[in-house]
Amino acid sequence: MQRPGSISPWRLLAPMLAIMAAVVGYPVVQTIALAFTDARLLGGLGSAHWVGLDNFIYALTDANFLSATAHTLYFAILSVGFETLFGVLVALLLNEKFRGRTVCRALLVLPWALPTIVNAIMWRLIYQPDFGVLNAVLTQTGVLSGYRGWLGDPDSAMNAVVLADVWKNYPLVALIVLAALQNAPADLYEAARLDGAGAFRRFQVVTWPVIAPPLLVAIVLRSIEALKVFDIVYVMTRGGPASATKTMSFFVYEESFRFLRVGSGASYALIVVLICMVLVTVYMRLLRHGQPA
């Protein structure tokens, strides 16, 4: 591609690569190195010893970490699933012409624009067992017979957190899909309609090929975020009740900053990254196969 006389693309990329190496590359290399040591947060690197795979063995034989992995996968699948579903539905709706569409499109961005911490505190207030609005609404409409603690019950706590996360993040999916819909060729819809295709069939053959690739990108982004989830859970439940909402990232945080074992914390972090990478690989495959011709 390079034309004679043009500047090598590597030279143009050099400043960015240097910054990336400093702010991403160096910490990554250090994290990998730390994961095989017994380094302590306050001991300094000088006191660290090589321990081989000990940290990984400790993590993977820890029943609590394994159940946290299950909780994280549950959270990721459920929240990304619903975000995708609502995102696509809302995008299709906002793609229709109706009065007030612009206002609705603007409103769509609001939940996503909230900082996660604010969103988490807001939902904690909504779920508050004594004066929370959710209890009030459900009790006054007769759905519930009395107030209950949503975040204090291990059976409902994770679902309550998922709902809070879906509310905040489905707009991202909706926005990406909505943008893709702008590219949907109007004449194809016309042709499909003339051929007698119903609404569902039109979605299948015209809309889906247009929105699928960007949607998959959105799903990849959301999945990685969901597997790393920490902040919303930390604010809403701190991992309780009975560890029902404790996710993998809690172990990274606890090991590193509570128990001061950064070596061990790094190994937990790498395990989380590996799981993310497996997922991304699967998605990439899907993306390549699902690519419309």
Partner 1 sequence: MLQIKSWIGVVGLAALAGTVLASPGHAETLNALFMAQAAYSDNDVRNMTHDFEKANPGTTVNLEFVPYEALFDKIVASKAAGGSGYDVVLYDVIWPAAFARDGVLRDVTDRVKANIDTAKVFDGAWSTSLFDGKYYGLPWILDTKYLFYNTDMLAKAGIATPPKTWDELLADAKIIKDKKIVDYPIVWSWSQAEAVVCDYATITAAHGGTYYNDGKPAFDQGGSLDAVKYMVQSLKDGVSNPNSKEYLEEDVRKVFSAGNAAFALNWTYAYAKANDPAESKIVGKVGVVPAPGVAGHTEASAVNGSMGLGITAGSSHPDLGWKYISFLTSQEVQNKYAQLSLPIWKSSYDDPAVTKGQEPLVAAAKTAISVMSLRPVTPSYQEVSTILQAQIQNALTDKATPDAALAEADKAAARLR
Interface with partner 1, residue 26, by CB under 8 A: no
What DSSP state is assigned to residue 53?
Answer: T
Interface with partner 1, residue 214, by CB under 8 A: no
Backbone torsions φ then ψ of 282, nearest 5 degrees: -60, -45
Nearer to partner 1, 10 or 131 (CB): 131
- Select from 268, 228, 261 the least CA-distant residue to 64: 268
Stretch that binds partner 1, among 27-35, 189-197, 219-227, 259-267 (CB under 8 A): 259-267
Q: Can you tell me which of 3, 130, 140, 187 binds partner 1, judged by CB under 8 A? A: 130
Query: How many positions of this chain bind partner 1 (CB under 8 A)?
Result: 29
Interface with partner 1, residue 43, by CB under 8 A: yes
What separation in angstroms does the CA of 125 have from each of 110, 149, 150? 18, 11, 11
Minimum Å gap between C-beta 290 and partner 1 is: 41
Tell me if residue 99 falls in helix, strand or coil.
coil
Minimum Å gap between C-beta 226 and partner 1 is: 22
What DSSP state is assigned to residue 132?
Answer: -
- Select from 202, 238, 208, 252 the least CA-distant residue to 65: 252
Interface with partner 1, residue 41, by CB under 8 A: yes
Q: Do the beta carbons of residue 261 and residue 255 sit within 8 Å?
A: yes
Q: Do the beta carbons of residue 272 and residue 249 sit within 8 Å?
A: yes
Interface with partner 1, residue 237, by CB under 8 A: yes
Nearer to partner 1, 84 or 247 (CB): 247
Q: Can you tell me which of 86, 112, 189, 259 binds partner 1, judged by CB under 8 A? A: 259
What DSSP state is assigned to residue 49?
Answer: -
CA distance 176 to 191: 26
Q: Can you tell me which of 19, 70, 125, 242 binds partner 1, judged by CB under 8 A? A: 242
Q: Work out the number of other CB atoms within 10 angstroms of the CB of residue 289.
A: 7
Interface with partner 1, residue 151, by CB under 8 A: yes
Interface with partner 1, residue 239, by CB under 8 A: yes
Q: Which pair of tokens denotes residue 161?
A: 């957190």
Interface with partner 1, residue 230, by CB under 8 A: no
Q: Can you tell me which of 49, 101, 201, 238 binds partner 1, judged by CB under 8 A? A: 238
Interface with partner 1, residue 58, by CB under 8 A: yes
Please classify residue 13 by burial: count the beta carbons closer than 10 Å to its beta carbon, then call 0-12 exposed, 13-18 middle and 19+ buried: exposed
Q: Can you tell me which of 56, 184, 243, 283 binds partner 1, judged by CB under 8 A? A: 243
CA distance 177 to 173: 6
Minimum Å gap between C-beta 135 and partner 1 is: 11
Interface with partner 1, residue 118, by CB under 8 A: no
The b/e string for 235-268 (b: 16+ C-beta within 10 A; e otherwise) is bbbebebeebbbbbbbbbbbbbeeeebbbbbbbb
Minimum Å gap between C-beta 119 and partner 1 is: 18
Minimum Å gap between C-beta 79 and partner 1 is: 21
The kind and range of the H/E element at 45 are none
Stretch that binds partner 1, among 20-28, 173-181, 190-198, 253-261 (CB under 8 A): 253-261
Interface with partner 1, residue 201, by CB under 8 A: no
Which residues of the chain form contacts with partner 1 (CB under 8 A)?
A: 40-43, 58, 64, 129-130, 149, 151-154, 237-244, 246, 254, 257-261, 264
